[in-house]
Amino acid sequence: MADERRRGTGLDPGLLLGTHRRDWYLLLTLWCIRQASTNLLILGLIPPLLVGQLTDDLASQLDTPEELAGALLSPLALIAVAIVLRFAVGVTSLGLAFPLRVNGAFDPAATPARSPAMQAVDRLTLARGRGTLRWSWAVRRTASQRLGRRGTVLDAAGRLLTACLPVSIIAVGIVSAVVAG
């Protein structure tokens, strides 16, 4: 904890983790899925490039849930899967961060002059902030250490997926250059 404060975070990363192994495991697993979905999104550009479907109006082809579902049976399938995975990870991580309480943090319920709706908005805002902080390296490292060998494997997988991101970008660039002739 003192080491983290010396670097300026001012917050013990362990405070952003739940008390159960399940929370630590889910955090690292979701991190891996999050990193994989980013790579999948980028690599998902290759099939539309190869069939000439990568056009300026690509984003408009994925506007609605129906169009996203239809894309699963097209060259846009990898992009659609990546979007669905990223959304699912975001919702799940928010759900995991919502019940966490950080000692000394603002408590919306302690402000009785505010309406219940505004307290709910404050709770959601705080959960989003905690969820974002949980993606930090220090919190993931703490979860990995608490999990032991399983945490080390998940941490290594997450790092590998992160390291693959530039490779994915280069692969799309090469395919794009070859297709362009």
So where are the chain's domains?
A: 20-180
Task: For residue 139, give both structure tokens.
Answer: 């919190």
pLDDT in the model for residue 1: 46
pLDDT in the model for residue 153: 97
**pTM metric for this prediction:** 0.78
Question: What region, left, alpha or beta, does residue 54 occupy, with left being phi > 0 and alpha being psi -120 to 50 degrees?
Answer: beta
Report, as ranges of residue numbers, the positions in the chain whose pLDDT lies below 50.
1-2, 4-6
pLDDT in the model for residue 19: 86
Q: Dihedral sign, CA of 98, 101, 104, 110?
A: positive
Q: Are 62 and 71 in contact (CB under 8 A)?
A: yes
**Helices marked H in the chain — which ranges?**
2-6, 21-43, 46-51, 65-71, 77-97, 116-134, 137-147, 149-180
Task: For residue 135, give both structure tokens.
Answer: 């993606």
